[in-house]
A and B are shown apart, each in its own frame.
Chain A
Amino acid sequence: MKIVVLMKQVFDTEAKISLDGNKINKQGVSLVMNPYDEYAVELGLRIKEKFKGEVTVVSVGGPEVQDALRQALAMGADKAVLVDPGADEIDEYTTATILAKAIGGLEYNILLGGFKAIDDGSCQVCGRVAEILGVPVVNMVTQAEVEEDKAVVTCDIDGGSAVIEVKLPAMLTAQKGEIEPRYPSMKGIMQAKKKPMQKIGLGDIGLDAAQAAPKVKALSYSLPAARAAGKLVPGEPAEAAKELARLLREEAKVI
């Protein structure tokens, strides 16, 4: 079973965001593997353990992304591929075009990714890749039973959950579920450095920048206005509760 996991490196959830001109300042921000991609890697490793397969982790980004790829290798993935997009201004179309091209050159039975990246929260790259590659997608998967030629998965849908069967190859995107990603083991960390990490550019996968040019353009970035601290309602609980109820009705007019 050949398993390919699409991975993104993102800002740490605790990262403080500041602007550098009209861009997000990336200096000094600690970077982590997108948490939903960790679920995908874990799912991939479990499928690998069941079928004696091979897990390849693929990402788009600069050299700093190697840290997140190395983490995936330390968790137990076998190979990593990092494609440098050669540009800062990219969108989901760009990323999906590159990933699909890179993955298209690999053997795969199943494609996995996180259902969203916590930085831009756009929830569309994996879907786009599936569309380009012509494989079915199931998003927000919380459980997956994978067999040789099909997967039966449980996924979140609006207002509940569904059990869906798809033939392989398919793209499954991981939502937080019962699957807890493993921590890399110390041995895994030592082995990771011996595993192949392929660093390539657009030319290596037969793309030119124009083919992957973004469709969406970011016009401006800003920081949200700080929510003004509100008022503390003083007094004993009974008194405070009464006053709060009054404020909600008369001042905030929300009930």
Chain B
Amino acid sequence: MIFKLTEEQELLRKTVRDFAEKEIAPKAAEMDEKEEYDWDLWGKMAEMGLSGVPYPDEYEGAGMDNISYAIAVEELSRVCASSGVLVSAHTSLCAWPIYAFGTEEQKQKYLVPLANGEKIGAMGLTEPGAGSDAGSLKTTAVLDGDEYVLDGSKIFITNGYYADIYVIIAATDRALKHRGISAFVVEKGTPGFSFGKKEHKLGIRASATYELVFENCRIPKENILGKEGEGFKVIMKTLDGGRIGIAAQALGIAQGAYESALNYSKIREQFGKPISANQGIQWMLADMATRIEAARLLVYQAAWLKDNNESYSKQAAMAKLYAAETAMWVTTKAVQIYGGYGYTREYPVERMMRDAKITEIYEGTSEVQRIVIAASVLK
């Protein structure tokens, strides 16, 4: 075992960190406050190739591995969790299923502009009555001649409204439950495809979360990903990978909050000495650092397994579960170390604590991750 990043991975980390600190960090608080993303940043990220990190050069990706991708999401999230999830949802939830299940034609048409960042991607799975329970989806896709007709709605869609390309999961045969669902690629602007309300959230407030509405939305038959009825497989595989992205996001949030608190503890003086001289604070910092390192190893391990074509479902669930809970725990402690200031918007840890919570919820709650892990260990 070699626990050492490659030179490329190190340079990528340095590059993304540099970019995130210079370009994103100064805007993070304002974007959070206004609940609006600064889309110029996306242009800059795309120019650097952060829109297609793990996809091959032939599809205009960077041709890097999934560890590199995880590092990129981690470093973006370290200063701005909304930027982290923008890239994660785009890369893991939209580009990936097209890469893994799409035809060559679909890849040229959709993956290429996603990977080079010309277009933004999103995925529509969750509905008011169905999240992880994909078998009870109410959105339907009915084949009518050369077209599928989509009807229904999707909620809580990350990158919704701003994304150009959507991977939409819909039931082609509701009687078959999870064996009757399929995945489709739907472009923004398709007649019958509109956007409902924008969510106002506790955290990741700069990330756009929208409702998608399909009313007699007709898409070409060839926009199906894989075969009819393969949707469940597409979802499960996609979410396995997505979990690595969200785990990396959680890891980045934790790292950012930890570093802020660490620095603050060294400069904040009470009773004539820096608060870091108090053992109570020292133990918090030690636990924060340890949990973050453990989370990082899990995240990179899951990414490594994926890179090496080994089964990564269990490790991805473990990484997401542990990193998300670490993010919540670490950010809460970080606010505590800042004391009253930490509860205000003067310092970033308040935002980070709000941002952390979602990582325990989306792309499978912590409870769902435990179900996945338990199913695997009891097999």
Whether the complex brings A and B within 8 Å at their CB atoms is answered yes
Interface of A with B (CB < 8 Å)?
A: 67, 70-71, 74, 183-190, 192-193
Contact (A71, B14) CB under 8 Å given A186-B64, A190-B62: yes
Given the contacts A70-B7, A193-B7, A186 and B14 also touching, CB distance less than 8 Å: no
User: In the complex, A87→B53 CA distance in Å?
Assistant: 41
Majority SS of interface residues in chain A? helix
Q: Kindly list the 4 A-B residue pairs having the minimum CB-CB distance in the complex, ordered from nearest.
A: A186-B62, A186-B49, A185-B49, A184-B15
Minimum CB–CB distance for B340 against chain A, Å: 19
The CB with the most chain B CB atoms within 10 A, among A70, A185, A187, A193, is that of A187
A39 CB → nearest B CB, Å: 14
User: How many chain B residues touch the partner (CB < 8 A)?
Assistant: 21
Residue among B8, B10, B11, B72 with the highest chain A CB neighbour number at 10 A? B11
Cα separation A189 to B19 with both chains bound (whole Å): 14
Does B104 sit within 8 A of A, measured CB to CB?
Answer: no
Task: Name the A residues within 8 Å of B53 (CB-CB).
Answer: 186
Give the Cβ gap from A59 to chain B, nearest Cβ, in Å.
16
Q: Which residues of A contact B63 (CB under 8 A)?
A: 187, 190
Q: How far is the CB of B113 from chain A (nearest CB, A)?
A: 16
**Chain B 160-179 interface mask (CB, 8 Å, partner A; 1/0):** 00000000000000000000
A186 CB, nearest partner CB in chain B, Å: 3
**Central interface residue in A67, A71, A183, A185, by most chain B CB within 10 Å:** A183
CB contacts (< 8 Å) of A184 on chain B: these are 11, 15, 48
Task: Give the most central of B12, B14, B47, B57: most A CB within 10 Å.
Answer: B14
Find chain B residues with CB under 8 A from A192 CB: 8, 11
B48 touches A185 (CB 8 A): yes
B18 close to A (CB within 8 Å)? yes
By beta carbon, the residue of chain A nearest B11 is A189
A-B contact pairs, 15 of them (CB 8 A): A67-B10, A71-B11, A71-B14, A71-B15, A183-B15, A183-B18, A185-B49, A185-B62, A186-B50, A186-B53, A186-B72, A187-B57, A189-B8, A189-B64, A190-B62
Other than the known A185-B49, A190-B62, what 9 A-B pairs have Cβ atoms closer than 8 Å? A186-B12, A186-B49, A186-B62, A189-B64, A190-B8, A190-B63, A190-B64, A193-B7, A193-B8
Minimum distance in angstroms from B196 CB to a CB of chain A: 35
A185 to B11, CA, bound (A): 10
Q: Are B15 and A74 touching (Cβ within 8 A)?
A: yes
A189, B57: Cβ atoms closer than 8 Å: no
**Is the beta-carbon distance between B47 and A185 smaller than 8 angstroms?**
yes
